[in-house]
Amino acid sequence: MELSEKRGVPGSVLKWVAIITMLIDHIGVVLLYGWAKYRHFWGPGIESLNFYYIVRSIGRLGFPLFCFLLAEGFVHTRSRGKYLLRLFIFALISELPFDRAFWSGWVDLGHQNVFFTLSLGLLAAMLWDMLTQGGGDCPPWRGIAAIGCAIALGAAAHYMETDYGAMGVALILVMVLLRDRPWVRDLVAGGVLAAMIPFGSHWIELFGVLAFPLFHLYNGQRGRQSKYFFYVFYPAHLLLLALIARLLFRA
């Protein structure tokens, strides 16, 4: 594992963990589930089905890690506007590969990829920060407006059916607003993950809490990493998985 001069691990290590667990999760969704659907791979037993859930459970670490890293980017980026624009551009770029990989068609307006969730979450954090500048001296209407914007953007994520939806936006806000109170952040973030279950998510979302100890290993340094690698990797790996599924299953 990459160690920096400062004790702990840099953001680059956390990003690689997030990318690898995300890839494992997507292999489970696109290929393992596809094999089950088209080839009846599970058969009469449950062993392979258990393997599928193990893979998906590992994948639950990815999104909390990306939310954590987004919160760090929110604090340290030179331009939040450019950061938001970059997320939104790649949300558009990723949509066709996302639809093809997960929904078996090139266009599915009923579901949107995780970059839309990250974009809405970042925008919610930006508006919250702008409206509540001044802390305790902030007029009450600004705090009410900040809450209203967060609810509106969460509702947008819900009705757009982005990955993780409104709870994804809430998780990003928790990471940003409680950044300086790590144990409280973890407790509230765990509550957000648990709250996903009554809204249709599977209980394996709770495995996302396994990412929380990694937050405490972060040493505050960016580490060596390509600025655009994840942005390119996300649509590229979805397109590759979609093509592999096409070859295997003719879906």
Q: Coil, strand, or helix at residue 163?
A: coil
Q: What is the pLDDT of residue 73?
A: 94
User: What is the pTM (predicted TM-score) of this model?
Assistant: 0.89
What Cα–Cα distance (Å) separates residue 161 from each residue in 15, 81, 111, 167, 193? 25, 24, 5, 11, 17
Q: Which residue has the higher pLDDT, 8 or 188?
A: 188
Mean pLDDT, rounded, for 223-228 = 82
Banded pLDDT at 250 (limits 50, 70, 90) = low
Q: Which residue has the higher pLDDT, 127 or 226?
A: 127
Tell me the domain boundaries of the chain: 11-249
Is residue 129 pLDDT above 50, yes or no? yes
Cα atoms in the 13 Å half-sphere on the side-chain side of 128: 22
Lowest mean pLDDT of 93-107, 195-209, 223-237, name the range: 195-209
What Cα–Cα distance (Å) separates residue 193 from each residue in 150, 173, 189, 207, 209? 17, 13, 6, 9, 8
Q: What is the pLDDT of residue 142?
A: 84
Long-range contacts, stretch 32-40, CB < 8 angstroms, 24+ apart: 34/245, 34/248, 34/249, 34/251, 35/248, 35/249, 37/249, 38/248, 38/249, 38/250, 38/251, 39/249
The burial of 219, by beta-carbon neighbours within 10 Å (0-12 exposed, 13-18 middle, 19 or more buried), is given as: middle
pLDDT tens for residues 38-81? 555 545 444 566 778 889 999 999 999 999 999 999 999 989 99
Contact 191, 42 (CB under 8 A): no
> Would you give the DSSP letter of residue 197?
G
- Mean pLDDT across the chain, nearest whole number? 87
